[in-house]
Amino acid sequence: MAVKVKENLRNFCIVAHIDHGKSTLADRIMEFTGQVAERDMEDQLLDSMDLERERGITIKLTPVRMAYTAKDGKEYIFNLIDTPGHVDFTYEVSRSLAACEGAILIVDATQGIEAQTLANCYLALDNDLEIVPVINKIDLASARPDETAKEIEDVIGLDGSDAPRVSAKNGINIDQVLEKIVELVPPPKGDDDAPLKALIFDSYYDNFKGVICFVRIMDGTISAGTKIKTFMGEKQFDVTEVGTFNPGLLPKKSLSAGEVGYVAASIKSIEDIAVGDTITTSINPALEPLPGYKKVQPVVFSGIYPLDGSKFNDLKEALLKLKLNDASLTFEPDNSAALGFGFRCGFLGLLHMEIIQERIEREFDIDIITTTPSVSYHVYKTDGEMLVVDNPSRFPDVSYIDYAEEPVITANIFTPPDYVGAIMELCQEKRGTFTDMTYLDANRVRLNYTLPLNEIIFDFFDGLKSRTRGYASFDYELAGYEKSSLVKLDMLLNGEICDALSLIVHKDKAYPRGRALAERLKDVIPRQLFEIPIQAAVGGKVIARETVKAMRKDVLAKCYGGDITRKRKLLEKQKEGKKKMRQLGSVEVPSEAFMSILKIDSDNK
């Protein structure tokens, strides 16, 4: 048995700040290698979900295999794994990095290095990847490639002078990128004859083939008929198919060390396979798993409930299926007095939460209600016990609380100097603590702040973008817990506390939040047959009140010449609208009310 270098293989990913052109460059590389005929190209091929294309973001990793004949005359096999750019998906980036030897780092020649350029680049360096810097968007008039090259040297410490200068959009200098991949990305090493070690870096459920695992083979060989098991699971499976990405699934006889591909083994239960686990053979297995992925911690929590209570099991099935290819999603059954049975879910961030929500509604056709997002608090009770509270309804009564802590983050904010004042003001409002400010050059400043996470999850990013006309960028890292004065803000509808609308807030924010939330609810709750008082309360004390007046008229004055059908259709429409509402005590509340709090701060600006 011997470790061999797979000279003709190159496994790499692309990292970049959002909008710097990852997906476009990936498309061009595929086009250039002839993987996809130009006329068949649909823009941004790798973003396979509708949602991804609509939002112009990549959520899921979709690898692709390409053949490239380099200028040295040899043919190389490229495995490209695209990565998401949004800060919520740092974990997904880290998964794909572990399957690669190199990373293309795209820097937008008009924007320079941004917060996520840096964050993703450090992530790649942490994984010992070779970095191939690429300067993109040179076709734009505002491009400043020389300065960008210098910035790559100054800020990241890589040699930027030699970096390909490309326009992914117009297909300029793509060949240089391919040559750099051959030159700089190290070929993978592995032993085809050693016991199998295959890293599962993603998976999804196929109705016909069962679970499809995306793997990187580190050692050994796998083919149809191989009996496999995983280190964390207990079951054994017979491999039914292996193959590579075309970017669709292309069956192959076998996959060997260094290769990236997929494995299907009629795995029917989506709980049997854990992303991050290592596949090995049942006979002559490897002794140890590969170093596992960084365990992902959800950061934002919210309740998801079926609008129609009888859909609870459908919702459960949907979440199980989503979890299969989204290991970062966590959920456990929950029960709300107002909303009945549902799930308390953990997400990587707000975008992640929105995406899961939309996927449940679109892909599984279940109408859901999502409650106000929360972070995870540490509450120390007077008896010394520490509670982890991510659900406001579990927040103990004030009299039992000794003190509480909330999660904080350290934020890196990149901005032109003009907006420093506006950003400081924003961070101040969000209870931030200034830690550092660095001038990177005459046009760029890096600000460092410590901020409470619960201020970030609402609308910090939108606020930052709107106050800096989109020029600032932002990235953060969790930085532990800090003591904080937290209270539970309750909302009462028609005199009854609605647990699904409660939230945990800093004492100083309780009054403005409560007032804004009451106003907001007044706008979204339609008038009903009786007057509805809306109250915000802290510890039983009402701090704000609004009223939804009783409806006065909803009837059609006349039936036009006996046109009863028209009237019935109108009522049917009204009934449809009613179905989108949730009955809370005596009050009908539209599902968007539960997300109202998110809109508050941006509205009040």
Partner 1 sequence: MSGIYVHVPFCKSKCTYCDFASYPREIGKAELYFACLYKEIKARAESLKDYVFDTVYFGGGTPSFIDEKYIVGALRQIKNCYTLSKNAEITIEINPGTLSPEKVNAYKKAGFNRFSIGLQSADDAMLRKLNRIHTKDDFLYATQLLKGENFSVDVMIGLENQTQKDVKETIDLAVLAGASHVSAYALKAEEGTPMFGKYLNGDLPSEDETAELYDFAKAYLEEKGFLRYEVSNFAKVGYESKHNLNYWNRGEYIGFGVSASSFIKERRFTNTEKIDEYTACILRGKVAEIFSEDIVGDEREFEYIMLNLRKDEGFFFKDFENRFNCSFTEKYADRIKMVKKYIDIDDQKIAIKPEYIYVQNTIIIYFMD
E strand intervals along 266-391: 278-281, 300-306, 330-336, 340-347, 368-370, 377-381, 386-389
Least CB distance to partner 1 at residue 561 (A): 6
260 vs 145: CA distance, rounded Å: 34
Give me the torsion for CA of 459, 461, 463, 467, rounded to 10°.
Answer: 180
Q: Is the CB of 507 or the CB of 568 nearer to partner 1?
A: 568
Cα–Cα distances in Å, from 204 out to 200, 216, 302? 11, 15, 24
Q: Is the CB of 287 or the CB of 557 nearer to partner 1?
A: 557
Question: Do the Cβ atoms of 197 and 10 come closer than 8 Å?
Answer: no
Least CB distance to partner 1 at residue 577 (A): 9
With a CB cutoff of 8 Å and minimum separation 6, the contacts of 208 are: none
Question: Do the Cβ atoms of 215 and 166 come closer than 8 Å?
Answer: no
Q: Is the CB of 39 or the CB of 552 nearer to partner 1?
A: 552
106 vs 103: CA distance, rounded Å: 9
Q: Is the CB of 74 or the CB of 566 nearer to partner 1?
A: 566
Least CB distance to partner 1 at residue 414 (A): 46
Least CB distance to partner 1 at residue 562 (A): 4
Q: Containing H/E element for 599?
A: helix 596-603
224 vs 182: CA distance, rounded Å: 31
Question: Do the Cβ atoms of 89 and 81 come closer than 8 Å?
Answer: no
Over the Cα atoms of the chain, what is R_g? 27
Output the CA angle 579-582-587, nearest 5 degrees: 115
User: Which positions touch partner 1 (CB under 8 A)?
Assistant: 528-529, 549, 551-565, 567-568, 570-572, 574-575, 578
Question: Do the Cβ atoms of 154 and 440 come closer than 8 Å?
Answer: yes
Q: Is the CB of 292 or the CB of 526 nearer to partner 1?
A: 526
Least CB distance to partner 1 at residue 564 (A): 6
CB atoms < 10 A from the CB of 289, how many?
16
CB atoms < 10 A from the CB of 331, how many?
22
Least CB distance to partner 1 at residue 573 (A): 10
Least CB distance to partner 1 at residue 557 (A): 4
SS3 495: coil
Q: Is the CB of 297 or the CB of 586 nearer to partner 1?
A: 586
Q: Is the CB of 50 or the CB of 572 nearer to partner 1?
A: 572
Least CB distance to partner 1 at residue 589 (A): 15
What does DSSP say about strands 197-206 and 9-16: parallel, antiparallel, or unpaired? unpaired
Q: Is the CB of 69 or the CB of 547 nearer to partner 1?
A: 547
Least CB distance to partner 1 at residue 550 (A): 8
Least CB distance to partner 1 at residue 148 (A): 51
Does the CA dihedral 161-162-168-170 come out positive or negative?
Answer: positive
Q: Is the CB of 507 or the CB of 549 nearer to partner 1?
A: 549
Least CB distance to partner 1 at residue 315 (A): 23
Per-residue three-class SS string for 226-272: CEEEECCCCCEEECCEEEEECCCEEEECEEECCCEEEEECCCCCCCC
Q: Is the CB of 553 or the CB of 605 nearer to partner 1?
A: 553
DSSP string, 418-450: GGHHHHHHHHHHTT-EEEEEEEEETTEEEEEEE
Q: Is the CB of 398 or the CB of 559 nearer to partner 1?
A: 559
Q: Is the CB of 398 or the CB of 556 nearer to partner 1?
A: 556
Per-residue three-class SS string for 120-184: HHHHHHHCCCEEEEEEECCCCCCCCHHHHHHHHHHHHCCCCCCCCECECCCCECHHHHHHHHHHH
SS3 343: strand
Q: Containing H/E element for 5?
A: strand 4-5
SS3 451: strand
Least CB distance to partner 1 at residue 547 (A): 14
Q: Is the CB of 122 or the CB of 560 nearer to partner 1?
A: 560
Least CB distance to partner 1 at residue 340 (A): 18
Does the CA dihedral 230-232-236-239 come out positive or negative?
Answer: negative
